């Protein structure tokens, strides 16, 4: 099949005017000017007309479990209050509710042009019941704060469930809810099975004061539920995380809003850099400290965007996420912002040779949006605020 569009945004060089992509099976076999691609390849021509063809979007951090919590929790006064509120909402939900929630989330993400998602689930035992409609990295989200003696079992049991999926990983939830043993076991499994790891780190001011000062609402809350607090009162969340492991590019770290001055050295010194996911609208909902984008970028960190869950966001549109990011970082060029939902998350998922670009040999995952005759297609992409007109996933029109 040959797909023609007014503009092909390859993310592998400048956009191609009056371009085309040839597809065989689920792979791209040729990209270039329409006349040349047509001369070199046979097959049916699908002409998208006045459209821009883009690589499918990649959501680097999401919890589809909580799609059904959209609008249920008003912005909280404190992060600890939010944890209380989401726990109260979760107590009302059954397994069936979670299954429905995950399926609804997939449908919504897909309708917004997302073709790949890194999804954390607190219910790895449910994954066999789900036929994901887009490429999914399933991360089993793990918490052992109420039963730290079971860290190893918790990890191993979740692996038994989640490994039924082709692409999976592990997500120790955060340093305040997952023990050092749990993190350690996840790292052992990751080395043995060459899987990816993700976690939440340095998200809130309260997490910073819990670990650095042994005080604040999160400290009191965690102490109140019986968490051993001997790791508090010494270091920043990042120092604690980095100090306990050989860092590797296996880690995808969500948030990183709270960095002390002393953390810059740690970030600069680490030779193997983890990947970072920023969720601009969830960040705004919590009114977190400013995301240190420029500092992390200057140190060479790969920064991606994610929606996080609908317990702290309005919808699963990465276009809306790019707009929110642009509002807080207007100096960043629109093409660099688009990289944060294509090329950068592809790299974080170790798919830099398969996803995030329109290029020969890559997966045939595309979305198309109307193309106004503006001078900068990347401005049009970020301004686009409807579901895309047309999607191709794995070589099939959806
Ligand atoms: Zn999250």
DSSP 8-state class, residue 68: G
Binned at pLDDT 50, 70 and 90, residue 272 comes out as confident
CB–CB of 162/143 below 8 Å? no
Sheet holding 275-278, edge to edge: 57-62, 114-121, 135-142, 168-172, 196-201, 251-255, 275-278, 302-305
Distance 308 CA to ligand 1 centre (A): 5
Quick one: average pLDDT of 270-279?
Answer: 93
Binned at pLDDT 50, 70 and 90, residue 275 comes out as very high
Q: What is the average pLDDT value for the chain, to the nearest integer? A: 96
Quick one: average pLDDT of 304-311?
Answer: 98
Which pair of structure tokens corresponds to residue 390? 């047309």
At residue 282, φ and ψ (nearest 5 deg) are -65, -40
Distance 301 CA to ligand 1 centre (A): 19
Quick one: average pLDDT of 256-283?
Answer: 94
Judged by DSSP in three states, 141 sits in: strand
DSSP letters spanning 241-268: HHHTS---TTEEEEE-----TTHHHHHH
Distance 119 CA to ligand 1 centre (A): 9
CB–CB of 22/37 below 8 Å? yes
The residue ranges of DSSP E strands in the chain, in sequence order, are: 2-8, 16-24, 27-33, 45-47, 51-55, 57-62, 114-121, 135-142, 168-172, 196-201, 251-255, 275-278, 302-305, 366-370, 390-393, 396-397
Name the least confident of 2-6, 155-159, 189-193, 246-250.
246-250
| CA atoms within 13 Å, Cβ hemisphere of 363 | 23
pLDDT at 375: 80
Quick one: average pLDDT of 60-78?
Answer: 97
> CA-to-CA distance for 224 and 53, rounded, in angstroms?
53
The yes-or-no verdict on residue 144 having pLDDT over 80 is yes
Q: What is the pLDDT of residues 72-89, one digit of tens each?
A: 999 999 999 999 999 999
Name the least confident of 51-55, 118-122, 245-249, 340-344.
245-249
Quick one: average pLDDT of 90-99?
Answer: 97
**Helix crossing, 217-224 with 205-213: angle to 10°?**
70
Distance 139 CA to ligand 1 centre (A): 11
Distance 199 CA to ligand 1 centre (A): 8
Distance 198 CA to ligand 1 centre (A): 10
Distance 170 CA to ligand 1 centre (A): 13
Q: What is the pLDDT of residues 109-137, one digit of tens each?
A: 999 999 999 999 999 999 999 999 999 99
Quick one: average pLDDT of 268-295?
Answer: 95
Binned at pLDDT 50, 70 and 90, residue 348 comes out as very high
Share of the chain above pLDDT 70, in %: 100
Q: What is the pLDDT of residues 152-172, one digit of tens each?
A: 999 999 999 999 999 999 999
Binned at pLDDT 50, 70 and 90, residue 270 comes out as confident
Distance 255 CA to ligand 1 centre (A): 8
Binned at pLDDT 50, 70 and 90, residue 44 comes out as very high
Binned at pLDDT 50, 70 and 90, residue 373 comes out as confident
> CA-to-CA distance for 318 and 113, rounded, in angstroms?
8
Distance 279 CA to ligand 1 centre (A): 9
Binned at pLDDT 50, 70 and 90, residue 271 comes out as confident
From the list 253, 299, 251, 257, the residue with the least C-alpha distance to 282 is 257
Matching residue, tokens 């060479």 = 300
The yes-or-no verdict on residue 244 having pLDDT over 90 is no
Distance 7 CA to ligand 1 centre (A): 35
Task: State which H helix or E strand residue 290 sits in.
Answer: none
Cα separations in angstroms, 205 against 217, 237, 327: 10, 10, 22
Binned at pLDDT 50, 70 and 90, residue 58 comes out as very high
Distance 295 CA to ligand 1 centre (A): 22
pLDDT at 391: 97
> CA-to-CA distance for 62 and 254, rounded, in angstroms?
10
Matching residue, tokens 């950068």 = 344
pLDDT at 46: 97
Distance 212 CA to ligand 1 centre (A): 22
Distance 79 CA to ligand 1 centre (A): 13
pLDDT at 297: 96
Distance 277 CA to ligand 1 centre (A): 10
> CA-to-CA distance for 192 and 238, rounded, in angstroms?
25
Binned at pLDDT 50, 70 and 90, residue 140 comes out as very high
Q: What is the pLDDT of residues 187-239, one digit of tens each?
A: 999 999 999 999 999 999 999 999 999 999 999 999 999 999 999 999 999 99
pLDDT at 204: 97
CB–CB of 354/295 below 8 Å? no
The yes-or-no verdict on residue 52 having pLDDT over 90 is yes
pLDDT at 245: 78
Distance 281 CA to ligand 1 centre (A): 12
Distance 307 CA to ligand 1 centre (A): 9
Distance 171 CA to ligand 1 centre (A): 10
């Amino acid at each position: 099949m040959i797909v023609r569009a007014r503009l092909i945004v390859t993310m592998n060089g400048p956009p191609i005017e009056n371009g085309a992509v040839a597809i065989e099976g689920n792979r791209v076999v040729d990209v270039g000017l329409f006349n040349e691609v047509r001369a070199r390849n046979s097959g049916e021509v699908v002409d998208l007309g006045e459209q821009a063809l883009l690589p499918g979007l990649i959501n680097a951090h999401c919890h589809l479990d909580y799609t059904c919590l959209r609008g249920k929790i008003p912005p909280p006064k404190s992060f600890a209050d939010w944890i209380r509120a989401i726990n109260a909402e979760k107590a009302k939900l059954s397994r069936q509710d979670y299954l429905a929630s995950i399926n609804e989330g997939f449908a919504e993400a897909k309708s917004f042009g997302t073709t790949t998602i890194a999804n954390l689930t607190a219910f790895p035992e449910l994954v066999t019941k789900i036929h994901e409609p887009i490429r999914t990295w399933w991360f089993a989200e793990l918490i052992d704060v109420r039963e730290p003696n079971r860290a190893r079992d918790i990890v191993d049991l979740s692996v038994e469930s989640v490994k039924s999926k082709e692409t999976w990983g592990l997500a120790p939830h955060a340093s305040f809810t997952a023990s050092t043993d749990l993190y350690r076991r996840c790292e052992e499994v990751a080395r043995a099975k060459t899987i990816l790891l993700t976690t939440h780190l340095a998200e809130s001011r309260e997490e910073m004061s819990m670990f650095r000062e042994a005080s604040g609402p999160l400290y009191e809350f965690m102490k109140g539920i019986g968490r051993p607090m001997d790791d508090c009162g010494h270091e920043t969340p990042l120092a604690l995380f980095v100090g306990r492991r050989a860092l590797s590019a296996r880690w995808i770290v969500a948030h990183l809003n709270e960095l002390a001055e002393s953390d810059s050295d740690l970030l600069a010194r680490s030779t193997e850099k983890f990947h970072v996911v920023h969720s601009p609208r969830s960040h705004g909902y919590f009114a977190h400290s400013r995301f240190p984008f420029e500092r992390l970028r200057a140190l060479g960190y790969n920064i991606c965007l994610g929606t996080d869950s609908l317990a702290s966001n309005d919808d699963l549109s990465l276009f809306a996420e790019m707009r929110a990011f642009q509002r807080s970082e207007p100096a960043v060029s629109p093409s660099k912002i688009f990289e944060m939902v294509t090329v950068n998350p592809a790299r974080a998922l170790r798919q830099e040779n398969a996803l995030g670009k329109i290029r020969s040999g890559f997966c045939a995952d595309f979305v198309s949006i109307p193309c106004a005759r503006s001078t900068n297609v990347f401005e049009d992409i970020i301004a686009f605020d409807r579901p895309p007109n047309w999607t191709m996933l794995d070589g099939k029109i959806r």
